[in-house]
């Protein structure tokens, strides 16, 4: 149950400090009516209580803050508000910011931003939380301002504090689990591996910067597990799904499952891709997991609610939002945070039973 947090009123503060409401109001709005020592003492005590004045304008004058944080999303707003992972992340942010009377301004980096608009946005916010940015989106980005508080999430931008998950380790863990079935051929359903909007197979020299992209980290985790099992991630078995879209993932999965040497395992970089891949396999007359195993990544609710349910890596998406907000507000130390992941075994790729 959500805890109701009572907002301090002018009357509450006056009672605690044992002065009149007029005295509190004068401290913020009419300093000439009070002695300097009394005013300073009242403002200091108010700040300790988390009370910054009888209105937002007074708070901004007192603290130099607007109480607004810009949330820069890597995808269109309509997509981010419906994508299960982005939605959970925004939920985590909102829980913390609401509790501390902060507002969120949602911004899409896909929009063409004019200089005037960028200046207006930077003056409106106390800083930015940058979510899920791909390397090419960080070049000359208007929100990369040295004087602004910037937290990056699901990405790495030099000079900023980041909040991420164990992408490499999570991918390695689930690939090792799946490879225990000893598939003869493995396909990787990658997410935004290339700077293109096409569903296609990849070449190594086309990949994003390995340090900057979480998808590349997951690919490296898969590759490590494959190598340990005497297999390799050959380009013709790696697909690029340009967005976390059921339609695009379904197309990629049908292409992969139509190969002459059909893969017996699909390593999918998201649960949305895994769900689409399972449906493509079933529509093609294949049995899951008897003919083909499928694994995902994220741990969204839908992955547990379909049949066959999806074996996946659960990431702490809501917690990730909370942590990012806490770092932004100074409630946590400003250092990089990496959250653990957890393997969740379900029907699409069960554990191998020892004979």
The set of residues, in sequence order, having a beta carbon less than 8 Å from that of 44 and lying 6+ positions away, is none
- The pLDDT assigned to 119 comes to 46
Adjacent-strand bridge partners of 298: 314
* Cα–Cα distance measured from residue 245 to residue 240, given in angstroms and rounded to the nearest whole number: 12
Q: Do 253 and 262 form a contact (C-beta atoms < 8 A)? A: no
- The pLDDT assigned to 100 comes to 87
Q: How many residues does the chain have?
A: 355
- The pLDDT assigned to 85 comes to 93
* Cα–Cα distance measured from residue 38 to residue 169, given in angstroms and rounded to the nearest whole number: 57
Q: What are phi and psi of 272, to 5 degrees?
A: -60, -40
**Which CATH fold would you assign to the domain 167-315+340-344?**
Rossmann fold (3.40.50)
Q: What is the CB neighbour count within 10 angstroms for residue 195?
A: 14
- The pLDDT assigned to 109 comes to 67
CATH topology agreement for domains 68-165 and 167-315+340-344: yes
Q: Do 341 and 170 form a contact (C-beta atoms < 8 A)? A: yes
- Which residue ranges make up each domain of the chain? 10-63, 68-165, 167-315+340-344
Q: Looking up tokens 């900023």, which residue turns up?
A: 160
Q: Is 106 strand, coil or helix?
A: strand
Decide: residue 18, CB within 10 A, 0-12 exposed, 13-18 middle, 19+ buried.
exposed
- The pLDDT assigned to 318 comes to 97
The set of residues, in sequence order, having a beta carbon less than 8 Å from that of 325 and lying 6+ positions away, is 69, 92, 93, 95, 96, 97, 102, 129
- The pLDDT assigned to 64 comes to 59
- CATH architecture label of 10-63: Orthogonal Bundle (1.10)
- The pLDDT assigned to 55 comes to 55
- The pLDDT assigned to 137 comes to 53
Domain 68-165 has CATH 3.40.50.2300: yes
* Cα–Cα distance measured from residue 211 to residue 5, given in angstroms and rounded to the nearest whole number: 41
Q: What is the pLDDT along the chain (355 residues), one digit of tens a residue?
A: 444 445 777 788 889 999 988 888 778 767 778 888 888 888 888 888 877 666 544 555 455 567 899 998 888 888 888 899 999 999 999 999 999 888 999 987 665 444 434 544 555 788 899 998 765 555 556 556 556 789 999 988 878 899 999 999 999 999 999 999 999 999 999 998 887 889 999 876 666 555 457 898 999 999 999 999 999 888 899 999 998 999 999 999 999 999 999 999 999 999 999 999 999 999 999 999 999 999 999 999 999 999 999 999 999 999 999 999 999 999 999 899 999 999 999 999 999 976 5
Nearest to 340 by CA among 160, 165, 183, 93: 165
The set of residues, in sequence order, having a beta carbon less than 8 Å from that of 41 and lying 6+ positions away, is none
* Cα–Cα distance measured from residue 20 to residue 41, given in angstroms and rounded to the nearest whole number: 14
- The pLDDT assigned to 202 comes to 86
The phi-psi region of residue 66 (left if phi > 0; otherwise alpha if psi is between -120 and 50; otherwise beta) is alpha
């Amino acid at each position: 149950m959500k805890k109701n947090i009572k907002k301090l009123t002018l009357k509450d503060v006056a009672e605690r400090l044992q002065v009149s409401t007029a005295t509190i109001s004068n401290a913020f709005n009419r300093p000439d009516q009070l002695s300097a020592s009394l005013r300073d003492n009242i403002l200091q005590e108010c700040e300790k209580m988390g009370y910054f004045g009888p209105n937002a304008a007074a708070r901004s004058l007192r603290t130099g803050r607007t109480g607004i944080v810009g949330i820069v999303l890597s995808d269109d707003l309509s997509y981010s508000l419906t994508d299960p992972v982005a939605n959970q992340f925004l939920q985590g942010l909102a829980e913390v910011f609401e509790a501390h009377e902060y507002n969120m301004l949602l911004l899409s980096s896909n929009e063409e931003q004019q200089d005037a608009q960028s200046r207006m946005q930077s003056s409106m916010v106390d800083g930015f939380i940058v979510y899920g940015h791909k390397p090419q989106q960080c070049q000359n980005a208007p929100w990369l301002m040295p004087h602004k508080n910037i937290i990056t999430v699901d990405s790495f931008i030099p000079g900023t504090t980041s909040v991420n998950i164990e992408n490499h380790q999570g991918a390695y863990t689930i690939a090792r689990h799946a490879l225990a079935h000893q598939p003869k051929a493995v396909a990787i359903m990658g997410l935004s591996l290339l700077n293109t909007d096409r569903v296609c197979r990849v070449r190594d020299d086309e990949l994003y910067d390995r340090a900057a992209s979480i998808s590349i980290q997951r690919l490296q985790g898969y590759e490590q597990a494959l190598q340990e099992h005497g297999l390799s991630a050959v380009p013709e078995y790696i697909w690029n799904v340009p967005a976390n879209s059921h339609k695009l993932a379904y197309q990629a999965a049908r292409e992969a499952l139509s190969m002459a040497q059909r893969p017996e395992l699909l390593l999918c970089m998201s649960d949305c891709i895994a769900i689409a891949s399972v449906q493509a396999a079933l529509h093609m007359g294949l049995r899951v997991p008897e003919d083909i195993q499928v694994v995902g990544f994220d741990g969204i609710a839908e992955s547990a609610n379909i049949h066959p349910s999806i074996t996946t890596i659960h990431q702490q998406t809501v917690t990730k939002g909370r942590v990012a907000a806490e770092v932004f507000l100074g409630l946590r130390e400003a250092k990089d945070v990496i959250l653990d992941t957890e393997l969740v075994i379900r029907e699409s790729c069960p554990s191998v039973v020892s004979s």
